[in-house]
Amino acid sequence: MQYRLLGRSGLAVSELCLGTMTFGNTTSEEESIEMINRFMEQGGNFLDTADVYVSGRSEEIVGKAIKDRRSEIVLATKVRMTTADHPNGAGISRKHIMDGLDASLKRLQTDYIDLYQVHVWDHATPIEETLRTLDDLVTSGKVRYIGCSNFFAWQLMKSLGCSDMNRYVRFISIQPQYSLVSREMDREMMSLCAEENVGIIPWAPLGGGFLTGRYTREEPTEGRLTAKAGESSWALRSTERNFAILDAVTAVSKRLDKSPAQVALRWLLQRQGITSPIFGARTLEQFEDNMGAVGWTMPQEAWDELDEASALPSEYPNRFIAKFARPY
């Protein structure tokens, strides 16, 4: 396992991050704790959860698993979604953030969060209020670093500008959906993060399981992609373009004697700007397969093949800039 600095910070995180959204739901507590232990044994130190995962149960299991090895772990969680049935039970107001943090700390059995992330932008709350609150939490020692998730590029840039203008702490990372079948972030977010040195920790790096090779063009009767709504629903994943990408992944995996999941994760690990993809696993078997993405290098021609198969269509202004703008 290799380690990378997260954004504009000195925080070293493992090249893979273990996501815990299934912990306490489709993954039992026993298997969840075993997964964390195996992850740490293989050099992993980066765990991601959220206050709304399985109604807080994920945080409870993570806290139980790491309480005796807390200093070894870079622990990330999130705030923003609805956690209580009252007017201030959601959002990124000062009240909800502080209430949410205290609740997360209790469930996680710790007195600090390494990376506290805003789960989604909140149009009801001025970003100045949110960032001032997060700055106070860093000053207090309850939070070490801050990040965001699911932002537009303008929202991230507005946040960074606000932090710089007011001398608040900056977001050091963003957690977007990003994979071979979800490359919308290439339009603006990737270049912004490179310019501002913001770490990228993608969620759904396997397209919700689509890139594991488990699914064919026939509609599935079991598995995550049977969902009727959401980013990993069959309606969104089962396009001819996505199946062409999956065909390319499968072809490369056969040539390299790797699983499709390992190839899809390895493509991300070797993509410039990506810090640490967040992979989830329902079973220990899936966990071990995903961990096989580290410790080897994909040949450049294979990486290029996947990059070309999954690239977004040529669009303005990138198309215009590539043709007419000088590279300085």
Are 202 and 178 a contacting pair, CB within 8 Å?
yes
Active site residue 53: yes
Number of residues that this document lists for the chain: 328
C-alpha 194/C-alpha 305 separation (Å) is: 23
Instruction: Check residue 186 and report its DSSP letter.
Output: G
What are the strands, taking DSSP E only, across the chain?
3-5, 12-14, 17-19, 46-48, 74-79, 113-118, 143-149, 171-175, 199-200, 278-279
Place of tokens 């956690």: 83
Catalytic residue among 53, 116, 168, 215: 53
> Residue 87's beta-bridge partner residues?
none
Please classify residue 29 by burial: count the beta carbons closer than 10 Å to its beta carbon, then call 0-12 exposed, 13-18 middle and 19+ buried.
middle
C-alpha 73/C-alpha 31 separation (Å) is: 19
Q: Which amino acid does the sequence have at 302?
A: A
- Tell me which residues are annotated as active site: 53
